[in-house]
Every structure is written in C-alpha cells, then in structure tokens.
Structure 1
C-alpha cells in the first residue's frame, strides 16, 4: 500500500528555525498515543550556505550533531560546502520509548530529550539537544540513573586511565585542568549516579565540532549554550534514562512513522535483524497487529538509515475513531 500524504501541519508552537540562542521547545502531542514531534511546517526543511563552509559549520549554526547532518546530506562534501548550496536539516523526530519525564539520552541518535515539569495551564513540553557519546572503547553506559550533582566552572581531574592514554599518545595531561576555555568539561557539569564518574558536560573550544559523534571517554558532551540551558533547568534528583534505540516507531495524526539509525561503531546488525526489530515495533505500536503497511517505505528507511521519519501506514477511519477514544482515556480527558 503506497502512502501519499501532504505533510503541512505544525504540531508544535515553535520558532520557524532554531538558532544560536538555544534549542527549540515543543509542545508534546495532545493525543496521548502520538509520539512524533515536528520542528518545521515543511516536510523537508532546507537552508542555504551563507558562505563557503563545512557541514560542521552548518550543524553548529543550527545546533545539530555532526553525524546527524552528514547522514541527512550524503551527497554533500562534508568539508567543502559552497556558498549558496542547499543543505537539508532535521525536521521530524520520534520520541524514544521511555517515560516522558526527566531526561532521556538515546545514544543511537546522539540526541537528548528533556521533559521539563508541566506548568499549570500550560501544555507538556519536550526539548531536544544534540550530544556526543562514548567511543567504541569507552562506551556510554545504559540504564536508568539520575542527576546527583551540578557544578559551574568545574575543574577536571582526569582519571589515571585517561592520563595514561594521553601520555602514550605524546599528549600528557596535568593532574588537574582548571576552569577555562580549554577545559574539556566546558563551563557546566551535571553528575550522573553511575559508578565510574560519568557526566553530562559542555566542551572546550577545540572540540566543539565533536558534538553528535562517538568521541568521549563515556560522558555526554553538549554544545555550550545547550548545557547551560540544561544546567539552569534540571534540579538534582532529575531521572535520566540512557537507552540505545536505533529504530523507533510512532504515530502522528493517525499516520505511523518509522525512524532508523545505523549501528554505532563496533556494532553490527544484519538486515534480517533490523527488519525483524522493525516489524516487532510496528506490531507493538498497532495494538499487536501488523497492518498492511508500505513495505517499500520500510525498506527505504532501513536502507538509508538517515534518521528521517518515514510514513508507513495510515489508519482507516474506524481505527482513527477507536484510537481517539483510547487516547482520550490515556490522557484522562
């Protein structure tokens, strides 16, 4: 079954484009069964290079991760974007399958979802940030934890294992790196309740283009303005869910979408495994039944693996009515 949908809706009250002032905050879907968030009215939001630059420069300007923007623009030279060249930006995202509270880090997409406490008379919201994660040999741990501490202008006490690694590479580290522009922790640090000293932190000026990559020693690294906003927003005790969900499925306006990301470095998933996982998620999202979805669209999503949600299936009218009733019951309305 082919799907032809004019995607011209705006799900959230938001700015037209993100900017250096910080990430956009979105209203969560009113229908409790929906889990797709949309940033722009256009299905394929674009920008034009302001000058000869790199894709990393564009990512920095729009607070996107490096891996994310490279995947969305496979035909563009990462290191040589010509002035006037059109660049594709991220638009829709499917929320990870976690509680809508606190912070969720989906390391498969190098992206954070922060659910601030709902304010009286205001819609529930979510804020999404790009971030870097641990390298293949220094993996970011998975599981539920919480924010256990907050420090502004932190000093960095590099662990002995990291000092040995740097020394072996001819780049010895001091026992303590004081606060400042070259401190790897940046200006803000959030402690996680995970043994081993894992953190959410900013970055120094030399590593700012590593956001959205597997590049850290296991910590979560953010853009300076993003970590500052998060630091000011989250209290100690905030729950944090760290998950690895390379494939996500979700509804928006009775249309089922799938979003797929490639394996992290050092991991290998076969096509059959990926397809089977997708079918299980589709079945789960559709009440235990696999619908007559667009198989060509699914193949496209699982082949391109660019993180762009793809429409698979539209509910029939009677199914829409049943889903609306179930959504109202779930939301308590």
Structure 2
C-alpha cells in the first residue's frame, strides 16, 4: 500500500498543473501578438516623447541660428576688401565725385592761412593722468572719446573720474583728467563718427600739415575761465596763433569753431584783448592783427533747439558714417 501511495504521489508530482499544461498553438500566437503590440506601443510612446518640442527648444534653436548667421556675416565683412563697397556703389550710381580737397587742388589752390579748429562740447577727447587704484593701467588712456571701452569695463570707476568736485568745479583730489592734445583730440568722436577728420583730410590735399593746423582742445566739462586757471588753455591758443602767423609769412589765421566751441572762442576773443591778469593782455587790436576770419559751424547763439530735430530725424546721416 505504501508503495502504491508513493507511486501515486510521485505520479501526482509529475502530473502538470492546469497552469503548466501545454498551450494551444492559437493561444501562443495571441500572446506573441500582444507582446508585439506592447513593444510597438512602447516604441511609439518613446518616439512621441522624443519628438515633443517645447518653447524653450524653439527659442534655443532660434538664438543659435541668429548667432551663427551673425558670426558668418561678420566673418564675410572682415574678409571683404575695403574697396568693394565703393566699387559696388560706383557700379550702381557711376563714378564718385572728387572730394572737395582734390577739386581745390586741381584748381591750383594751395595752403596759405593757418587754420585753428575749436571743437564743441563732448567731441573733444579726455585722457587720464592721475587716478585711484581702480584705474591701474589706464595712464594717458582715453576716458572720453575713442572706443569707450572703459565705460563698460569699470562703470563706477569711470563715473568717479569723470565727475567734478561740487565746490571747486574742478577735478576731485587725487584725480587728473586732461584734454587730449593734437589733431587726434577731435578728429573722430567714436569709431565711424567723425568730427574734424574729413575737413583735415581735405585740407591736407592742398598742402596743409600739422604745423599749419592746430586743434584748440579744451576740457569741455569745466567753466571757460577755469580752463585758463587750471590748464592755461586760453594762453596756449593765443601763443599758438601768434606762432603760426609768424611762421607762415604773417598770414593771419582762420578760426573754425564748432558748436560750443563757437561760444568758447567768443570768450577767448574777449579774454585775449582784456588787460592782464584777468585777460590775455593782447590789446584791443589783437584779433584784427592775428585773425583773418572766423567760420562758425552750428554755433548755439539762440540755444540748441536744432539738436532735437537732429535726434529724431535723419539729419545726422552726413556725419555718422560706417564703412
């Protein structure tokens, strides 16, 4: 009996359960189809998830395309010959007219009267001669005019050095900012924005040189009389005009002031004839003796309402030039 029971038990153990019974062929195919469908669904969901496009992705791609195009155009611009724009312009509109200096040279005109330029407000460059620790490495570098690179690098330091003392109207203690000397003081206010450069170039075509041209640069931040007190600017203008007249065969000087320089030179003419020590002590006939003519450009005799029209219109297109 025990043997029979054991055999029955072992047979029962060997008999497969209903769950482990061999499956029908159709059921196996259905399960395979279900597995395939699940796999396809998972792949489809993953693909949809990958293809989902957000607003941030669009913005990033847009910014990337703009930057790529910008750098490509900048590369082409740098590689472009400087004569190409002029060649294209001449091909469309015809040959460019001769500059005024070349026309005068063809007519036989030559340098005769020495010329003095008097720049206006903010167009004259200013450079650093002494400053605080934050201006390390900026000795005789421009704080005004030129590239204005220091404005972006050290804004608070730049403001401290460009500001004047509230009591004296001069530089604060420990700071010395002075006007740039020479024709480069106001030939260009910034890159692509000329002030006197074109006039200097045209005068050079008929024989003018630096010895017959003088830029009467001054610190436009301070009062007219303080330019004499601190820098002796008025005395320098007087001496340079006298020297230029003496070294050019006695030919009187032609003065070309611009903007606030018109008022500054009017102050000079009053100062130079006034007796010292308040004036230059040149006498009442100094201007008649040394000045041939004064050609005022944009002098604010009646205020500066014209500046508003220039800001809100295209009237500045003749002086703002990009290559």
Higher strand share: 1
Higher helix share: 2
Do the structures match in fold with TM over 0.5?
no
Normalized against structure 2, the TM-score is what? 0.23
Comparing both chains, which one has the higher relative contact order based on Cα–Cα distances under 8 Å and sequence gaps of 6 or more? 1
Normalized against structure 1, the TM-score is what? 0.23
